[in-house]
Amino acid sequence: MKEVKKNKSREIAFETLMSIEKGEDGGRADLLLKGVLEKHSYMDRRDRAFIKRLVTECIKRRIYLDHCIDCFSKTPAKKCRPAIRVIFRMGICQLYFFDGVPARAAVNESVELAVKKGFTSLKGYVNAVLRTAERSRNEIETKLPDKKKSLEKFLSIKYSVPEWIVKEFLISFGEERTENTLAASLKERGVNVRYRAEDEAAWLDALKESGITVLKNPLIEHVYELSGTSGMEELPGFNEGKAAVQDMSSMLAVKAAGIKSGDTVIDLCAAPGGKCCFAAELAGSEGRVYAFDISEKKTELIDENYERLGLSNIETAVGDATVFNEELAGKADVVICDLPCSGLGVMGRKADLKYRVTSADVDSLAELQIKILKNATSYVKSGGTLVFSTCTVSRRENEENVRRVLEDHDSFGLKAADIKDRLPAALAGMCEGNHVQLLTGEPADMPLMDGFFISVFTKE
């Protein structure tokens, strides 16, 4: 019975990966996978976790897996039939990165999957390629490009990141930090949860009894990294609003705003609502948070979040942040601008994003950010705070835009605020003036977090 279930799990993973290959739902792997897991919610949690991990790892390591196919198959990956290419990726991924999967099962079930999908004539070919991959497991690293002669290509293949992104990282962070960050982005990560109720000890016991691994966050109180869950809805207390899901770096951006009880906060690009909900908790019942985003679909996500959490001090509305809103002028103690960006800091969680974004996107997004920031400045009260953050690590979008804001005093009227005192002491060494660039894998002794840029300004 267990083997039948596992076979079913592999077939579901295959169909999901094929949908992503075809570009369904805009090719958004996170949306497709979420829908698949919801559709198969009747399955055992471990089976759904296997589906989630297999799909995610195949996407996350796509360049590396295709390199392996090229090494072991007479037909290179890009010329393989899409279904066979996906079966190869799944098989090699299990062979190389799933310690709990026997090699026999990884190979045999891949062959059976090829037969089931109408490729009976190719089952010998599939078997031969995967058997070769199995035998060559200890030698595959020697088939990578020479690191000394072609560093960018080596890092691109080893860590499955397009070469233009590798170049961007190397220019900004140097070889050692770049490789550490790219390696960290491939590591398995849990989900960060902030517990909001009083029965915290009992909740932690319930998680452990459910087989969920819990790691306490050393930077923010009541925050934990949870591993071994396939969906949030199954978490004890989640549907009752006792737990808020938000990455640690995103929480730090809200912390940096210095929100006090009674503050009026404006969040201009608020969906799906993690920041504005945390801001609402900090502002308290006497405070008010106005959360905007560009479409009704996005504001509905915010509504779902704050309603589940039982927050009554948030108002949502559809609003284009690039269009000046006269009603907001001088209204806010704090304005949060977590702006549209290339997302290079969240490659570890949104595995397909790195294949979709381009260098040209970075330049256009940097200009979009400046346009929004010019409006946002007008919404801040005299003496108030503006937080500009992104989930990317591109200097063109981050440090360069901070420089532009500070140099164009006539347009913005902002001055730099010292961010060091607004963040946990453990991060002080990473801060530079009014901003900090967080990288996945740094600090080395901390739980993994998204790559995130946070900068803070005050209105004169």
Give me the phi and psi of 337, to 5 degrees please. Answer: -120, 85
Same domain, 332 and 215: no
Query: Are residues 153 and 139 part of one domain?
Result: no
Q: Which of 426, 353, 421 is nearest to 393 (CA)?
A: 353
pLDDT tens-digit readout, 222-246: 999 998 776 787 788 999 999 999 9
Residues 203 and 175 in one domain: no
- Looking at residue 425, what DSSP letter applies? G
Answer yes or no: do 124 and 266 share one domain.
no
Q: Mark whether 34 and 130 lie in a shared domain.
A: yes
Whether residue 378 sits in one domain with residue 330: yes
Identify the band that residue 26 occupies on the pLDDT scale cut at 50, 70 and 90.
low
- Given pLDDT bands bounded at 50, 70 and 90, which one contains residue 3? very low
User: What amino acid is encoded at 408 in this protein?
Assistant: D
What integer pLDDT is reported at residue 22 of this predicted model? 86
287 and 374 inside one domain: yes
Per-residue pLDDT tens digits for 63-120: 999 999 999 999 999 999 999 999 999 999 999 999 989 999 999 999 999 999 999 9
Q: What is the DSSP string of 58-88?
A: HHHTHHHHHHHHHHH-SS-GGGS-HHHHHHH
Query: How high is the pLDDT of residue 230?
Result: 63
CATH of the domain at 292: 3.40.50.150
Domain with 195 in it: what CATH number?
3.30.70.1170
pLDDT range class, residue 206, cuts 50, 70, 90: very high
- Domain end, chosen from 245, 266, 281, is at 245
259 and 371 within one domain? yes
* Buried/exposed 245-277: b ≥16 CB within 10 Å, e otherwise: bbbbbbbbbbbbbbbeeebbbbbbbbbbbbbbb
Q: Domain check: are 164 and 46 in the same one?
A: no
- Residue 306 predicted with pLDDT over 60: yes
Q: Flag whether pLDDT at 5 surpasses 60.
A: no
Question: Can you tell me the distance from the alpha carbon of 393 to that of 370, in angstroms, rounded to the nearest whole number?
Answer: 17
The CATH number of the domain holding residue 84 is 1.10.940.10
**Tell me, what's the pLDDT at 229?**
76
SS3 annotation, 270-321: CCCCHHHHHHHHHHCCCCEEEEEECCHHHHHHHHHHHHHHCCCCEEEEECCC
pLDDT at 27: 64
**Domain shared by 393 and 254, yes or no:** yes
Give pLDDT, residue 6. 57
Residue 344 has pLDDT above 90, yes or no: yes
Which stretch of DSSP H or E encloses residue 52? helix 45-60
- 144: tokens are 């990578």
Residue 1 predicted with pLDDT over 70: no
Share of the chain above pLDDT 70, in %: 98
- Confidence check: pLDDT of 193 > 60: yes
- The whole-number average pLDDT for the span 348-354 is 89
Question: Does 445 have pLDDT greater than 70?
Answer: yes
410 pLDDT above the threshold of 80: yes
Task: Specify whether the CB–CB gap between 434 and 419 falls below 8 A.
Answer: yes
The pLDDT tens digits of the residues spanning 116-170 come to 999 999 999 999 999 999 999 989 999 999 999 999 999 999 999 999 999 999 9
Within 212-329, strands assigned E span 213-216, 223-227, 243-245, 264-267, 288-293, 314-318
Residue 14 contacts residue 111 (beta carbons within 8 Å): no
Tokens of 328: 């907001």
Q: Is the peptide bond before 424 cis (omega within 30 degrees of 0)?
A: no
What is the pLDDT confidence band of residue 2, given thresholds at 50, 70 and 90?
A: very low
Beta bridge partner(s), residue 191? 226
Residues 193, 199, 203, CA angle at the centre, nearest 5°?
Answer: 50
Q: Average pLDDT, whole number, for the chain?
A: 94
What gap in Å lies between CA 406 and CA 416, rounded to an integer?
Answer: 7
Which residue, 219, 245, 271, sits at the end of a domain? 245
Which of these three, 87, 116, 143, is where a domain ends?
A: 143
Domain that holds residue 231: 191-245
Domain count, the chain: 4
Residue 276 has pLDDT above 50, yes or no: yes
Q: What is the pLDDT of residue 4?
A: 41
Burial of 38 (0-12, 13-18, 19+ CB in 10 A): exposed
- Whether 417 and 341 share a structural domain: yes
What pLDDT is recorded for position 228? 79
Q: Are 155 and 98 within one domain? A: no
Instruction: In whole angstroms, give the CA distance from residue 189 to residue 351.
Output: 12
DSSP structure string for 122-134: GHHHHHHHHHHHH
**How would you class 86 by CB atoms within 10 Å of its CB: exposed for 0-12, middle for 13-18, buried for 19 or more?**
buried
